[in-house]
């Protein structure tokens, strides 16, 4: 692997002369394998998919059956559950199982790092912190659960800042990431099928603070107090952060949820030494991420907004207050509570601006039952039909918000595929 045209990777002499396992050869796994090889490490790689193995040009070893004795570590995708056989096999051989975030931490012990986790808002907060750094002239890069795989990026110069979005899955297998600034946006029930309980889920998030060095800054939403007790330095409450300029000056950061995301990013920027006038300029120039309250055009006299990333009720709820009158398209594969119900209770208090709900996918009957009596409801079934149904009743000057409050996997590959379908449908009007 490598050559004159090889993609950039982060390397470290700490990886040299050691044998490493890499399980999973999608984009992140390939980046990890390339970084380890470029660092002088020996790589045993494996993927259960035949196509992924065929596309890999390094050494293939079935880590599920191999003798793992002597491996320095096995790097797995965050999506690999702890019930997977590789965890038990590695434990028998005394081999640590880590993710690419841990590998990054081992390679960059002196780096300046802002780490962001939370159930909702972490992508926007991550992108905004990165944008504020760039606005201030600070070399910065985004990674983790956003953008390029972290090990496939160019190293930053001294004084640069790594801004990392981190999921609970990633944090579970990370041990050495000492963030100068750690942010927990919020915690609401999610991924309980993986973690088993809300306490375990919150505990995975809290690891971000437990890994900090004494005196580092923690920024936490008041509703996420369960993680505060592990903070090693000053704790800033997101809701108490003063604004350098009014939210009305930030065109891409509408709604109460984006106000909270912005407060977290402002606190992080101040902790990095960025002046308020620079922060205000960055807030005003920030452009929304794709699929996160993303205006995708004005067609037929209506503003169309793509919020496909909103995959649960807590994420959708504040989006419904961002515009004075809107038509809401929602649904997909519902996220069910312990009773097997799709719980929209977080949304019900936020329906005052909603002219009607247009429901699609597997969630449509469940959502319709809960929304009945609160807003007019139409079970459209598909996104195309929902758009047609909205056009039949919407008035010029109103907003069409696609904020599903559900996963995408019943009709689409992922939320990005779903958002792209919405964008394409709007473009075709």
| Tens of pLDDT, residues 96-128 | 999 999 999 999 988 999 999 988 888 899 999
Looking at the structure, tell me whether residues 75 and 184 fall in a common domain: no
Looking at the structure, tell me whether residues 217 and 252 fall in a common domain: yes
Please report, rounded to a whole number, the percentage of residues in the chain having pLDDT higher than 70. Answer: 94
Helix (H) or strand (E) holding 42: strand 42-46
5 lies in some domain: no
Residue 189 predicted with pLDDT over 70: no
The 354-360 sheet, strands edge to edge:
294-299, 302-306, 399-402, 326-331, 354-360, 377-381
Residue 354 predicted with pLDDT over 90: yes
Closest CA to 166 of 212, 199, 135: 212
Given a contact cutoff of 8 angstroms between Cβ atoms, the answer to whether 122 and 185 are in contact is yes
Looking at the structure, tell me whether residues 309 and 419 fall in a common domain: yes
Q: What is the DSSP letter of 17?
A: T
Residue 142 predicted with pLDDT over 80: yes
242-260: average pLDDT: 93
CATH number at residue 46: 3.40.50.720
pLDDT band for 82, please (50, 70, 90 cuts): confident
Looking at the structure, tell me whether residues 240 and 117 fall in a common domain: yes
Residue 5 predicted with pLDDT over 50: no
Closest CA to 74 of 60, 62, 90, 52: 90
pLDDT band for 230, please (50, 70, 90 cuts): low
Tally the residues of the chain.
429
pLDDT digits (tens, 9 = 90+) for 360-376: 999 999 999 999 999 99
Distance CA 324, CA 353 (A): 5
Residue 131 predicted with pLDDT over 90: yes
Q: What is the DSSP letter of 309?
A: T
180 lies in some domain: yes
Residue 171 predicted with pLDDT over 80: yes
Choosing from 285, 315, 349, the residue where a domain stops is 285
Rounded to a whole number of angstroms, the distance between the first and last alpha carbons of the chain is 46
Higher pLDDT: 84 or 330? It is: 330
Query: Looking at residue 170, what is its pLDDT?
Result: 87
The pair of structure tokens assigned to 182 is 């750690």
Looking at the structure, tell me whether residues 368 and 299 fall in a common domain: yes
315-332: average pLDDT: 92
Residue 339 predicted with pLDDT over 80: no
Neighbours of 17 (CB within 10 A): 11
> H-type helices in 211-327, by residue range?
256-271, 276-285, 313-319
Residue 228 predicted with pLDDT over 50: yes
Query: Looking at residue 206, what is its pLDDT?
Result: 85
Q: What is the DSSP letter of 424?
A: H
Given a contact cutoff of 8 angstroms between Cβ atoms, the answer to whether 146 and 283 are in contact is no
| Site of tokens 């119900």 | 341
Query: Looking at residue 229, what is its pLDDT?
Result: 57
161-167: average pLDDT: 94
Average pLDDT, the chain: 90
Closest CA to 383 of 429, 315, 350: 429
Choosing from 285, 319, 343, the residue where a domain stops is 285
pLDDT band for 3, please (50, 70, 90 cuts): very low
Distance CA 182, CA 268 (A): 8
Looking at the structure, tell me whether residues 357 and 310 fall in a common domain: yes
Looking at the structure, tell me whether residues 153 and 268 fall in a common domain: yes
Residue 15 predicted with pLDDT over 80: yes
Query: Looking at residue 67, what is its pLDDT?
Result: 94
CATH number at residue 246: 3.40.1190.10
Strands 377-381 and 302-306, how do they pair? unpaired
In 132-281, the DSSP E strands lie at 140-144, 161-165, 181-184, 217-220, 235-237
104 lies in some domain: no
Residue span of the structural domain in which 51 resides: 13-98
Looking at the structure, tell me whether residues 46 and 25 fall in a common domain: yes
Please report, rounded to a whole number, the percentage of residues in the chain having pLDDT higher than 90. Answer: 70
Higher pLDDT: 381 or 203? It is: 381
pLDDT digits (tens, 9 = 90+) for 387-416: 999 999 999 999 999 999 999 999 999 999
7 lies in some domain: no
pLDDT band for 196, please (50, 70, 90 cuts): low
Closest CA to 235 of 220, 214, 213: 220
Distance CA 273, CA 321 (A): 33
184 lies in some domain: yes
Looking at the structure, tell me whether residues 119 and 244 fall in a common domain: yes
Residue 188 predicted with pLDDT over 60: yes
CB neighbour class for 150 (10 Å; exposed up to 12, middle 13-18, buried from 19)? buried
Query: Looking at residue 121, what is its pLDDT?
Result: 86
Among 33-47, 151-165, 212-226, 321-335, which stretch is predicted with the lowest mean pLDDT? 212-226
Looking at the structure, tell me whether residues 189 and 79 fall in a common domain: no
Residue 247 predicted with pLDDT over 90: yes
Closest CA to 101 of 80, 128, 76: 76
The pair of structure tokens assigned to 286 is 């920030």
Query: Looking at residue 424, what is its pLDDT?
Result: 96
Choosing from 243, 265, 285, the residue where a domain stops is 285
- Total domains in the fold of the chain: 3
Buried b (16+ CB within 10 A) or exposed e, 253-264: bbbebbbbbbbb
327 lies in some domain: yes
Looking at the structure, tell me whether residues 253 and 146 fall in a common domain: yes
| Site of tokens 């196509």 | 51
CATH number at residue 407: 3.90.190.20
Distance CA 152, CA 410 (A): 32
Looking at the structure, tell me whether residues 92 and 118 fall in a common domain: no
Closest CA to 190 of 176, 175, 200, 178: 200
8 lies in some domain: no
Query: Looking at residue 271, what is its pLDDT?
Result: 97
6 lies in some domain: no
């Amino acid at each position: 692997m490598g050559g004159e045209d090889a993609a950039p990777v982060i390397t470290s002499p700490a990886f040299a002369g050691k044998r490493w396992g890499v399980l999973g050869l999608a984009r992140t796994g390939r980046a990890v394998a390339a970084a380890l090889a470029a660092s002088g490490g020996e790589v045993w790689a494996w993927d259960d998919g035949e196509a992924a193995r065929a596309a890999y040009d390094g050494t293939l070893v079935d880590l599920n059956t191999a003798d793992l004795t002597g491996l320095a570590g096995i790097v797995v995708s965050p999506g690999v559950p702890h019930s997977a056989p590789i965890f038990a096999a590695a434990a028998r051989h005394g081999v640590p199982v880590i993710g690419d975030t841990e590998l990054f931490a081992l390679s960059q012990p002196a780096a300046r790092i802002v780490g962001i986790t939370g159930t909702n808002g972490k992508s926007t907060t991550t992108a905004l912190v990165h944008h504020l750094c760039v606005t201030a002239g600070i070399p910065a890069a985004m990674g983790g659960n956003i953008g390029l795989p972290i090990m496939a990026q160019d190293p930053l110069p001294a004084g640069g800042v790594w801004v990392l979005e981190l999921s609970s899955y990633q944090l579970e297998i990370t041990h050495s990431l000492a963030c100068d600034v750690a942010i927990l946006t919020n915690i609401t029930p999610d991924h309980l099928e993986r973690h088993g309980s809300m306490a375990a889920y919150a505990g995975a998030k809290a690891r971000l603070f437990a890994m900090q060095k004494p005196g580092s800054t923690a920024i936490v939403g008041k509703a996420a107090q369960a993680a505060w007790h592990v903070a090693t330095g000053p704790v800033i409450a997101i809701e108490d952060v003063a604004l350098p300029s009014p939210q009305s000056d930030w065109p891409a950061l509408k709604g109460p949820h984006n106000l909270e995301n912005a407060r977290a990013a402002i606190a992080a920027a101040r902790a990095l030494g960025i002046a308020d006038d620079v922060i205000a300029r960055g807030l005003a120039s920030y452009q929304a991420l794709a699929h996160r309250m993303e205006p995708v055009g004005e067609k037929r006299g209506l503003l169309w907004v793509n919020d496909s990333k909103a995959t649960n009720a807590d994420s959708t709820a504040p989006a419904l207050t961002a515009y004075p009158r809107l038509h809401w398209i929602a649904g997909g594969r519902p996220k069910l509570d312990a009773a097997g119900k799709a719980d929209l209770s977080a949304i019900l208090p936020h329906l005052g601006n909603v002219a009607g709900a247009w429901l699609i996918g597997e969630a449509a009957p469940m959502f319709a039952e809960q929304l009945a009596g609160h807003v007019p409801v139409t079970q459209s079934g598909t996104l195309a039909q929902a758009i047609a149904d909205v056009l039949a009743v919407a008035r010029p000057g109103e907003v069409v918000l696609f904020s599903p409050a559900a996963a995408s996997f019943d009709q689409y590959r992922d939320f990005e595929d779903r958002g792209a379908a919405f964008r394409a449908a709007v473009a075709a009007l």
